[in-house]
Amino acid sequence: MKRKLALAMVLAMTASMAQPVLAADSKTTLDVIISQYGTQTQAWWSQFEKDFEAENPDVDLNIEIVSWNDLYTKVNTLVANNNAPDILNIDVLADYVADDLLMPATEYASEDLQSKFFPAFWDASTIDDTVYALPILASCRALFYNKDILDEAGASVPTTWAEVQETAQKIKDKFGDDVYPWGIDMTTDEGQAAFSYYTWNNGGGFVDENGDWALNSEKNVEALNFAVGLVNDGYTNSDPANETRYDLQDMFGAGKVAMMIGPNNIPTYLSDGGYDINYDVTTIPANEGCESVAMGVCDRLEVFKDDSAEDQDARTAAITKFFDFFYDDERYADYMVYEGFLPTTQTAADLLAKDDDTFASWIDILQSCNFYPATKTEWADVKQGVIEVEQNALLGDDVQTLLDDLQADIAG
């Protein structure tokens, strides 16, 4: 009897050893940092993590949601300490590529996934003929305005800068300090967007027709003087250097701001916040004689190299699984609706357009937008630089001098 029992135990042990039981240390761990786009970002990604690990028991996901206000400091600290995440959701790219920190996207994006992206978005992360990131989402910026406020003030929807001033004055005359006619964000969160809104719509911008930095161009100086003039004339929110676009969106939803330039997910933001106002959307006003230019934003998912990984093939395979799972048409489309953004894959766009024609309209606009020159190595410094220019201009410093100094710093 004892021999039979011992034999049974041996057989049981042998059988258990043959089972594909994954020990905790046999899993591939991926550290992922996702930027916070809204109040529900954490909830969506928490569910994603559970669903992914249930389908991929050989991968352990550690997903952390980080506010945009804290993102750059956190990531820079991690990189400096040789502890970069495996996958990062951010908008900057060139500096990481210059420091040889990123894996080329073709090493982890399956051929099926590559074929899904709109070509413009796949190419948007190309440096020296190599794609270094995947586009996570996109947004367009347009002018949102409170129809009731403008109607009550007897004001028209502005299409030019002169009309912006005229409409703002009418709103100010009618409502006094109760309503800010125009919302403007020159914070560290969106100051570079403000630079885009005004310079692009004055025929200027970050670079010239040859792609060289042209930060102190005459058109840029004129544009920033106009924007700061709106503040000085009392047409805007009181503290543009500290009031972020989220503050403006709350003020817009509460009827405190009459007009603001913002992203296409504002309707979702207003709905989630319980706001109920009568508003509409139109093109961004341009200076007389200039065409209106919309701004497109395309954030990225980037993969850092990890030379210390014990099994590089397993790590790459896990990363490929992550992206295939995230960009699954239904799941990815759900995330776009959830956050109120635009998809960067044709397949998800087609899926969403079946239920909502506005997605198709926004995609058409998006493909004609101007984008930040984020693949240029100096972009991170330019982004911070134009924000500092704006904030110093708000304090009374001369715009021409500020932009001359920035141009000299960047162009060397």
Name residues of the chain where pLDDT drops below 70.
1-25, 367-368
> 298 - beta bridge partners?
138
| Residue pointed to by tokens 């040789």 | 82
> 10 Å Cβ neighbour count for 69?
12
- Each residue of 136-172: b (16+ CB within 10 Å) or e? bbbbbbbbbbbeebbeebebeebbbbeebbebbbbbb
Do residues 46 and 68 lie in contact, with contact meaning Cβ atoms separated by under 8 Å?
no
Q: What is the fold, at CATH topology level, of the domain defined by 28-139+297-370?
A: D-Maltodextrin-Binding Protein; domain 2 (3.40.190)
The pTM of the full predicted model, rounded to 2 decimals, is: 0.74
Q: Which of 181, 161, 180 shows the shortest CA–CA distance to 222?
A: 161
How confident is the model at residue 40, as a pLDDT? 87
> What is the CATH superfamily name and number for domain 140-295+373-411?
Periplasmic binding protein-like II (3.40.190.10)
CA–CA dist 213, 410 (Å, integer):
8
CA–CA dist 257, 254 (Å, integer):
8
Do residues 359 and 352 lie in contact, with contact meaning Cβ atoms separated by under 8 Å?
yes
How confident is the model at residue 268, as a pLDDT? 85
Q: Whole-angstrom distance between the N-terminal and C-terminal Cα of the chain?
A: 88
| 200: Cα within 13 Å, side-chain hemisphere | 21
> 10 Å Cβ neighbour count for 314?
15
Domain map (residue ranges) of the chain: 28-139+297-370, 140-295+373-411
How confident is the model at residue 327, as a pLDDT? 98
Q: Which of 368, 337, 296 shows the shortest CA–CA distance to 142?
A: 296
Distances in whole angstroms, Cα of residue 145 to Cα of each of 70, 80, 293: 30, 44, 17
The two three-digit tokens of residue 90, written as one number? 């951010």
Q: State pLDDT tens for residues 248-280.
A: 999 999 999 999 999 988 988 999 899 999 999
Distances in whole angstroms, Cα of residue 298 to Cα of each of 91, 92, 131, 194, 222: 7, 10, 14, 16, 27
- Same CATH topology for 28-139+297-370 and 140-295+373-411: the answer is yes
How confident is the model at residue 38, as a pLDDT? 84
